[in-house]
Amino acid sequence: MPDALLPPLQIAEVQRSVTTELDRIAPVIDDLGRRFAEAGHELALVGGPVRDAMLGRHHNDLDFTTSARPEQTERLLKGWADAIWDMGRAFGTIGCRKGEWQVEITTYRSEAYDPSSRKPDVDFGDTLGGDLGRRDFTVNAMAVRLPGREIEDPYGGVVDLAHRVLRTPGRPEDSFSDDPLRMMRAARFAAQLGFSVDPAVVEAMRAMAGRIEIISAERVRDELVKLVCAPYPRLGLTLLVETGLAEIVLPELPALALERDEHHRHKDVYQHTLTVLEQAIDLEDRLPGGGPDFVSRFAALMHDVGKPRTRRFLDDGTVTFHHHDVVGAKLTRKRMKALRFSNEEIDAVSELVELHLRFHGYGSGEWTDSAVRRYVRDAGDQLERLHILTRADSTTRNRKKAERLQRTYDDLEARIERLSEQEELASIRPDLDGNQIMEILGIGAGREVGEAYKFLLEQRMDHGPQSEEAATAALLAWWAERPQK
């Protein structure tokens, strides 16, 4: 059950959690705190690590803020850190590794967006209070001063955290004007933490949604990935749709909220999609690495995006969505390209969307072995994810129908396993290779070898493994009957 549905945390519980976590990370925070203090600089643990410490969540990525400038921070880390990097120097950040801990130390700063710019202007600040005031949400605007461990909470973050609510330190309109990506982060944190979002924040998101267009596609993509991979993505996605942000960053999602006809002849595709996503998440333990798995989750989210384009009402009152799998795959590919996803991710998700209806041709098990082989071949290395998506796509409330679909897919998987043991389905190849084809037919490399290879692959699909003699005979027969060009 999402944390948003649980009772508020007790302040005493929050205080106990943060004390326990600070003791755990003491080897880093106490030592660093002394180093900076002795050099005349302020240092504080800040942001997510403080919030998560109060929630009793442990991790080894630690963020600090300091009065020291980047070059001073770098000098103080030399001789202490195991490794140092400065890719974020332009933004005031120096990173390092110390044993099992990853550390980032950023100079106090303030940043704001020019209305027409995609990148923030960064100015270094002089006070911890000023630095906290420029942060996105009150639960991230808390700090622990070091080495004394005094908690700084000028905007009531502890209370908001206890009540599981996201609120901005100042006016949300000012915060989102400074950095419009914070609107996406509101949805992402809701999904990650299970928190509700303050009504004033929601209203500002709704009024300022268009500002997200100045943010680069890459930054929007990264927030979307974090949201989709969060424990409660439905919370974040619903917020994006309700505020109008999804109309800009992922318009295919709100488009699923099709107008229901007066006879309710088709299910609510939008709610169905969110349910499929949650059911796919429940099946992630089938994957070798478990979850969260972005590809399978995003495929679940996009699997029906072709329906709005393909919906047709027939004279008998039924509704059809013919070819929505193919149309959906094209829309998915286009959206993911716009969001600058990698070609590998685009191919994987689009293939799953295109294949998600294939199982429904299985009926009650009528497929031949040849059809099963083709199912495995077409799924390729996405087979396990296709199993997840297909199973998750059953949201019927009819228990008997759901159980029948489950048994039928169990049967298909069992057949795939049996054939895989016999034939190594995952790496199906013809019974003759290219060199053998050229030798048997007496031809050189070229288009005809490819045609012969394709013929033999179809033979392999239709009839399973054959001996070299049988494959040779079939190849020669095909070659003799082949139209001369």
We report the CATH number of the domain holding residue 33 as 3.30.460.10
Residue 99: pLDDT over 70: yes
451 and 367 within one domain: no
Highest mean pLDDT among 131-135, 199-203, 259-263: 199-203
More confident residue, 313 or 252: 252
More confident residue, 357 or 116: 357
Residue 459: the pLDDT is 82
Please say which residue of 191, 218, 250 terminates a domain: 250
More confident residue, 15 or 194: 194
Q: What is the CATH number of the domain that holds 176?
A: 1.10.110.30
124 and 78 within one domain: yes
Q: For residue 214, what are the domain limits?
A: 171-250
Summary mean pLDDT of the chain: 89
Residue 261: the pLDDT is 43
Provide mean pLDDT across the span 48-75: 94
276 and 176 within one domain: no
Please say which residue of 250, 269, 303 terminates a domain: 250
Residue 446: the pLDDT is 84
Q: Supply the Cα-derived Rg of the chain in whole angstroms.
A: 28
Provide mean pLDDT across the span 303-310: 93
Residue 260: the pLDDT is 54
Provide mean pLDDT across the span 78-104: 94
265 and 120 within one domain: no
In-domain check, residue 165:
no
Residue with tokens 């982060």: 185
Split at pLDDT 50, 70, 90, the class of 203 is very high
**Ranges 330-334, 348-352, 409-413: which has the least confidence:** 409-413
In-domain check, residue 155:
yes
Please say which residue of 407, 427, 447 terminates a domain: 427
Provide mean pLDDT across the span 340-363: 94
In-domain check, residue 166:
no
Provide mean pLDDT across the span 167-196: 95
438 and 329 within one domain: no
392 and 324 within one domain: yes
Residue 113: the pLDDT is 54
In-domain check, residue 302:
yes
421 and 440 within one domain: no
Residue 37: the pLDDT is 97
188 and 133 within one domain: no
Number of domains in the chain: 4
439 and 418 within one domain: no
228 and 263 within one domain: no
In-domain check, residue 60:
yes
141 and 289 within one domain: no
Highest mean pLDDT among 83-92, 223-232, 360-369: 223-232
More confident residue, 48 or 266: 48
Residue 421: pLDDT over 80: no
Split at pLDDT 50, 70, 90, the class of 458 is confident
In-domain check, residue 144:
yes
What does the pLDDT look like over 380-397, one tens digit per residue?
Answer: 899 999 999 999 998 888
More confident residue, 353 or 119: 353
356 and 315 within one domain: yes
Provide mean pLDDT across the span 152-178: 94
